[in-house]
Amino acid sequence: MSDSTTQPGAPSAGVSSELPPAQEKSVAAEAKKHAPPRLLQLAATPDRVMLRMNKLLATPGGLSAFLSTFNYTLYLLAYLESKSGNLRAKLFHLLNRTSAVPALNTAGAQASHIAALGTMLSSTRTTLRLFGLFPMYAWLRQLMQGPKPGQDQVLYTTAVTQCLLYMTFQFLENVGLLTDYKVLPGSATTRWTASTGGTTKTIYLWSYRAWMGGVLCDVVRLLREAQLERSKRSQRGGSEVSVKEDEEVDKKWWSQMVVPLSWLPVAVQFSKEGGIPGFNLGIMGACGAMAGLGKAADLWASTA
C-alpha cells in the first residue's frame, strides 16, 4: 500500500504531463533562446523522464508499484553483484592474457550498498502499509453488500476470503512492526513473542501465511474466470471479431496469472519455518520483480 498524500505544492494525480506554453520572459523561454541547441537536446530526455516519473508516483498505486518493483530489482542486483567476482576475474584473464589478476575488493562494498538500499526500501514499504487496513476495510464494506447482480458465487466467496486474509496479514504485520519499534508495550504481544525469545518472528510468520492465502485466492479466482470464459465461448460462434477478442482476454488473463505465480515462491519462503532450501536473495528478487513488472510497465505507459 502506498501513502496517498503528496508534498505541499506538488502536483497531484490527474495533472497533465503536457506543459503550458512558456511566457515571453519566463526562465524556460530565456533558456531556449540562449542555451546551445545541443544542450537543450541533451536536457530534453531527462526532463521528460522526470515529469513522467512524477506523474507515475502521483497515480493511485503508482508509488507502491514503483517501490515494490525497484525494491526487488535491487535484491536481484545485489545477489548478482555478490556472485560476479569470479566472472570478472575470468574476463580480466581472457582480455589481458595474464594470470596476474588484481584483487577485486570493490564487489563486496558495492553489493552491500545495493542490499542496504533494498533493505531501506523494504522498511519504507512496510511503514507505508501501516495505513493499508483503511482501503481493505472499504473493500470489505463493499463486499458485505452482497454479490453484484449476475456475479458468480465462487468468485464472490473467493473475494471475501481474500479480503479477510489480506486484512489478517496487514493487522499482524502492523502489530509486529509496532512491537519492534516499542510503540506497543511488550506485554501486549507476550503470548506471541515468548516462544521466540521476545522477538516478533511468530507474528510475522503468521502474517505471511495469511498473505500466502491471499495470493492463492488470486490463483483460484483466475482459474474460475478461465472456467467461466471457456463455458461462455462454447455457447457462441467463433467469428473473426470474437477470435480477436478472445486473444485479448487470454493475453490479459496470462499477464494476471504471472503475478500470483511469481509471488508464491516468496510467500512460501516466508510462511515456512526455515524457508525453502536453496532459496536466496536472487530468486526472491527475480520473483518480486517479475510480479510487479507488468503493473509498473502499464503505469509507466499511461504517463506518456
| pLDDT confidence tier of residue 9, bands split at 50, 70 and 90 | very low
User: Largest alpha-carbon pair distance within the chain?
Assistant: 75
What is d(CA 75, CA 82) in angstroms, rounded to the nearest whole number?
Answer: 11
- Torsion angle (degrees, nearest 10) of CA 15, 18, 21, 23: 50
Give the list of residues 6+ apart from residue 98 with CB closer than 8 angstroms, or none.
none
How far CA 173 is from CA of 68, 128, 210, in Å, comes to 17, 12, 10
**209-247 pLDDT tens trace:** 999 999 999 999 999 999 999 998 888 766 666 788 888
Q: What are the sequence ranges of the domains in the chain?
A: 32-128, 132-273
**91-134 pLDDT tens trace:** 655 666 555 545 544 444 444 789 899 999 999 999 999 999 99
At which residue does the C-alpha cell 488470486 appear?
A: 218
At which residue does the C-alpha cell 504481544 appear?
A: 189
- Torsion angle (degrees, nearest 10) of CA 227, 228, 234, 238: -100
More confident residue, 47 or 136: 136
At 259, the amino acid letter reads V
Average of per-residue pLDDT values in the chain: 83
Q: What is the pTM of this model?
A: 0.80
Residue 24: what pLDDT?
54
What is d(CA 61, CA 135) in angstroms, rounded to the nearest whole number?
Answer: 12
**56, 300 Cβ separation under 8 angstroms:** yes
Give the list of residues 6+ apart from residue 133 with CB closer than 8 angstroms, or none.
167, 170, 171, 174
